[in-house]
Structure 1
Amino acid sequence: MTSDITHFETKIAIVVRDDLATWQKLNIASFLAGGIAGSYPELIGERYADASGRSYGPLIRQPILIFAATSDDLRKVLDRATNRGLQPSIYTRELFSTGNDRDNRAAVAAVPTEYLDLVGIGLHADRKLADKIVKGLSLHP
């Protein structure tokens, strides 16, 4: 079954460093998707229910495209996004060794932008703008 994602005016893109362990990539994508949902609550759909009447939690209402990137690619994506006025969610390598949100924020706050060891970036933007920001990247295999 093929889905048509072109009918959405916006795009959710998560860019993940391609040379990480699978568990790290999944962890990064999960944290960044949560950050996007927290930043844009309008992206959350309605609760689900099955035919037996059991209720389930809501999901983000549009597809999330996950791209593979090198360290240099991530730097370009961050620069493109911030130069266009976006505030993307970021994940740095240091966050693998912290255990809570307070320590995560402190780890990022301790490093100037140009020295962040980026391993993931998440963003939500107008579809055309998002395409410009992730231009040249391939979807994650």
Structure 2
Amino acid sequence: MFDTKNALIVRNDLAPWQRLNVVAFLATGITSGAPEILGQPYVDSLGRQYGKLAGEPMRIFEADLAALQKAHGKGLERELTLTPYVEAMFATGHDAANREVFLAEDANNLNLVGLAIRGPKKAVDKVIKGLKLHP
């Protein structure tokens, strides 16, 4: 149905609140990089308007750190849109601090807790091949 695919991968050893937090942030990365996926505002039967939701599915997978790093490398090779979330971001309180701790990471060995991937369906499928859907 869609030519593109959105995949969110979250590390499988996180606490539930951390997993949800990472998924929420990664979803914003997908929509900010592809605002065209947003549908129209929702309107209830009384005419009240609500916010927009993505019109394309976002599938959520889980993986260990090694699999996250592998997916990151494959995504870079295929030049897909990637949105990373590293463990050090849990200790920050705002966006500028997040960017600082991300910049301080070893770019070849990111301590990923989450990764959002968007791109052509076949390319994304190759990157996430073998990953399990999040339960």
CA RMSD in angstroms comes to: 0.8
In structure 2, C-alpha distance between the alignment counterparts of 1:78 and 1:140, rounded to whole Å: 18
Q: Report the Cα offset of residue 85 of structure 1.
A: 1.1
Q: Deviations over 1:35-85 (max 9, x none)?
A: 111111111111010111111000011111000100100001000000111
Q: 1:97-137, CA deviations, whole angstroms, 9 ceiling, x for partnerless residues?
A: 00111000000101221232100000111111110010000
Q: In 1, Cα distance between the equivalents of 2:110 and 2:52? A: 33
Distance across 1 between alignment mates of 2:117 and 2:40: 22
Spell out structure 1 runs of 4+ moving beyond 2 A.
Answer: none
Whole-angstrom CA distance in 1 between matches of 2:29 and 2:93: 16
Q: Structure 2 residue aligned with 1:93, among 87, 97, 106?
A: 87
Number of matched pairs? 135
- Structure 1 residue identity aligned to 2:128: V
Superposition pairs of residues 17-96 of structure 1, within 5 angstroms: 17-96=11-90
Structure 1, 107-116 or 18-27: larger mean CA deviation: 107-116
Q: For residue 127 of structure 1, what is the aligned residue in structure 2?
A: 121
How high is the TM-score relative to the length of structure 1? Answer: 0.93
| Residue aligning to 1:111 | 105
SS in structure 2 at match of 1:55? coil
Unaligned runs of 5+ in 1: 1-6
